[in-house]
Amino acid sequence: MREHASAGAAQPATGLGASDLGRRLADRRGELGLTRQEVVDRTGMDTGYLRCLEETPAAAPGVGTLLRLADALDTGVTVLTGGEVDLPPGPGRASRTAESVELGTDECWERLSTHGVGRLGMITAEGVTILPLNYTVVDGAIVFRTAPGSLPGALPGEQVAFEADHIDEVFRHGWSVLVRGLAREVTWSNEVRRLAERAYSEPWAGGRPDLWVRLDPVEITGRLIRERPPGGG
């Protein structure tokens, strides 16, 4: 039975972050490359109702609707409603049939993709330090922008490590990629301009990130956790 965007179409689900639901729906749909119509076909709900869920901040569908949406988008209700935002990743149990395999160099770069958030590891006067940062992949190198005088801004000329990962709580698989190399400041005006044009976004932390740092890899390794193929021993 199709659902419509009427006042009594669905009862609100207690405790769910409905104001964020629309963005999470649209974002997950975009990750999968699905149109609204394709999601409608999978769930059997009305196109107008899905549009309402994605665009109306006060939309609060019932649990049954959320379960159908989660199934159609290959995710979980907790993910769609933001219930795990403040939780560390990976609190669930690992699959009994999981296996860990090494990733090749090309596979590592494919997972790093072009941009995202990773962690930078360095040695400081206080000891080993790890910082999260926005990064971009350009021409086979990790690049990021930071503020002069900041801790990452003091890295040029130092050996550092960079790590990025992803965990899928629903399917209980994930990956991790580690890059080791030499950090250097980007000073050539043409290169700075090119990096600024190709950067995906400003750092989430804000500030004046006028300094570009490039990590030229010496070594890149990765691991993938996945379900063991049938008959894989």
Kindly report, residue by residue over 121-142, the tens digit of the pLDDT.
988 888 888 988 889 898 888 9
Q: Is 233 within a domain?
A: no
Whole-angstrom distance, CA of residue 176 vs CA of residue 96: 20
Within 18-146, where are the H helices?
A: 18-32, 36-43, 47-55, 63-72, 77-80, 105-112
Mean pLDDT of 152-171: 80
Domain with 185 in it: 98-227
Same-domain status, 72 and 120: no
Same-domain status, 141 and 198: yes
Rounded to the nearest angstrom, the gap between the alpha carbon of residue 194 and the centroid of all alpha carbons in its chain is 24
Q: Is 6 within a domain?
A: no
Same-domain status, 73 and 105: no
Residue 202: pLDDT over 70? no
Same-domain status, 211 and 123: yes
Which range, of 106-115, 166-175, 210-219, averages the lowest pLDDT?
166-175
Q: What's the structural domain count of the chain?
A: 2
The DSSP code sequence of 169-228 is: TTTTEEEEEEEEEEEEE---HHHHHHHHHH--S--TT-S---EEEEEEEEEEEEEEEEEP
Kindly report, residue by residue over 7-55, the tens digit of the pLDDT.
333 333 333 433 588 888 988 898 889 999 999 999 999 888 898 888 8
Regarding pTM above 0.85, the answer is: no
Helices (H) and strands (E) in the chain, counts: 7, 7
For residues 123 and 98, the model is more confident at: 123
**CATH number, domain containing residue 55:** 1.10.260.40
Same-domain status, 138 and 198: yes
| Confidence at residue 78, expressed as pLDDT on a 0 to 100 scale | 78
Q: Is 170 within a domain?
A: yes
Residue 151: band (very low, low, confident or very high) from pLDDT cuts 50, 70, 90: confident
Expressed in angstroms, the distance from the first to the final Cα of the chain is 44
Residue 219: band (very low, low, confident or very high) from pLDDT cuts 50, 70, 90: very high
Q: Is 9 within a domain?
A: no
Same-domain status, 221 and 118: yes
| Confidence at residue 108, expressed as pLDDT on a 0 to 100 scale | 94
Residue 153: pLDDT over 50? yes
Residue 109: pLDDT over 70? yes
**CATH number, domain containing residue 148:** 2.30.110.10
